[in-house]
Structure 1
Amino acid sequence: MEMALLGDWVEALGQRLSGDAEIMELLHWHTEREHRCLQPLWERKSGGRTVRLLEAPVSSEVSVRDVVSDDRRPENGLLHGEVDEGRVLAVLAELTPTERAVAMAYGAQRVTWAQAAALSGADDPDAFGNRVRRKLRRLGLRHRAAASPFAPVPAAGQ
């Protein structure tokens, strides 16, 4: 109540408020607002449910933190476009920068090859996206065959 009384609502007393009912309604509104601001986070509600602390007990010696299954980390958003798989990097290294942009757009978003090509600025997105798709398949099969211990030995003339 003290914070509400010290608020800036007092300036409206002489300007537009005339009756006691209006003043009490305004004071009540400011009191509710200040109460929400001063209320601890763990006593608030979100979506009709009370917010719980991660350290809140679920059962003996088990807290909410122990049963939360979200494995996202803060750095995931920063490293979203980074590839750390060696086999993928080997295939991407054989693409031109424009083809690599299409492949990365296709891998990072839920789009078609044509849409990924359009995002990278290709003149004919359908044809270019299809070309990148076929090239990636061909390069992937070649790298898979080379990495296989049972890969056939190429003939002398090949």
Structure 2
Amino acid sequence: MVAALHARRAILECADDDDWRPTVAAFSRTYLGITRTDGQWLEAVSTALLGDWIDVLATYSPDGDGTLHHLRREAQTVHRQLMPLWQRKSGPGRVWMLDYRLPSGETLHEVVCGSYRFENDVLSWSPDRHDAGAVFARLKEDEQHVARAFALGGGSWAEAAVATGLPAQLGERVMRKFRRLGLQHRQRQAALVGVA
């Protein structure tokens, strides 16, 4: 409790903006168990220290464990609030800023606001790995569109087929064919290694 009050006083009485940082960083590490003392965490802990934790002193035991738990939880909440949206996870993925650059070279803003068509990205993509490219080349043109849509958009194979304007059943068929061709390619490569 004394350390928390000392850290709070350091924030309130600082003459320079950086004077309070070492005291709050030491308090964070020692008493709150927050080992990262970057700017965001220090800001979060200082906000929590300046918050209403003194009001909860009456409800917790004098040993301070409840108060420290309250401070830690408050600092974590403030840290989450200070974190930019594009650094947070949202469901299974992340929130991207509109100026995020896609592999095609366009930004999300250009894609959303421009005359974007899914086929533009789909037609320009090809696998990076040599073995995947060899298998990919053995697919028919419409099957390649589905495989590209799956690689770029994620989701299921059925969703990739629908995104390219083809029936959902074609997506599952392409998946099975792609796997079968991949297995054949691996067997051929293994046979070539065995011969050499």
**Interval of TM-score (by shorter of Structure 1 and Structure 2):** 0.3 to 0.5
Determine which structure has more spread, i.e. the larger CA radius of gyration: 1
Determine which structure has the larger helix proportion and give its number: 2
